[in-house]
Amino acid sequence: MPNLYPALERQEVVVHSPRHVRSFAELSNEEVEAVAGTWHQRSEEAWVSGFSYVHAAINEGRLAGASLAHSHSQLIWLRDVPPVVREEQALLDGSPCALCDLLAAERADGARVIAERDGVLMSAAYAGRAPYELLIAGEHWGGQPGFDGGVALVRALELMADGLRRIRTIEGPIPVNVWLHNSGHWHLEVLPRLTQFAGLELGAGIYVNVLPPEEAARALREAG
């Protein structure tokens, strides 16, 4: 459905379930698959309509910017690829790209790996900005403009729900931001809002994370 108060030209709300659930962690596998299908269909429509990029984001909890308690996501249609995504493209272009190399290194090391399904890997983010930050990524989607219409996006969202449940087991319900970067090598970033970003983080881009990713991954594996 259209967002009643869009920040930009076109912004849609995807309601995740007819049940009153507050978190993506509470969705069934069937509901997760339906969300993936909706994201794919709407991203295809955006491309046909002349938009260059769709930014998919989930905000849970007021500290993460959510204005609704019911679990939902935002699809923001953009005429241009966002600056942060363009910066990533400079690193992710090429074969193999930087993320391909990172995924290979994570699989070989194993210390930060939490779970994997059908080639889609969930790991504690290397040098994450906050405790329990997650990176979820698989193989390239082949450069198509819309979100993947096959199994990769479904598995990524299933892993995201699984990761959020594991974090809940450890920390209880927490505010969290999630977004999908679809240009270059696609990936999901899950950022729990367990710390307050201040002048150092916001002004200098230097993040103080008191939980090493290896310890975060170990705790999340045990919480599964």
* Residue range 154-176, pLDDT digits in tens: 999 999 999 999 999 999 999 99
DSSP 2: B
| Domain boundaries along the sequence of the chain | 10-80+91-223
Q: What is the mean pLDDT of the chain?
A: 90
pTM of the complete model beyond 0.95: no
- Amino acid 118 reads D
Average pLDDT over residues 110-120: 96
pLDDT, one tens digit per residue, over 40-71 is: 999 999 999 999 999 999 999 999 988 889 99
pLDDT at 7: 66
- Amino acid 169 reads T
The distance between the two most distant Cα atoms of the chain, rounded to a whole number of Å, is 47
Please give the structure tokens belonging to residue 90: 């400079």
- d(C-alpha 71, C-alpha 91), whole Å: 33
pLDDT, one tens digit per residue, over 122-150 is: 999 999 999 999 999 987 655 555 677 67
- d(C-alpha 211, C-alpha 135), whole Å: 16
Number of H helices, E strands in the chain: 6, 8
Q: Which numeric CATH code is attached to 10-80+91-223?
A: 3.30.428.10
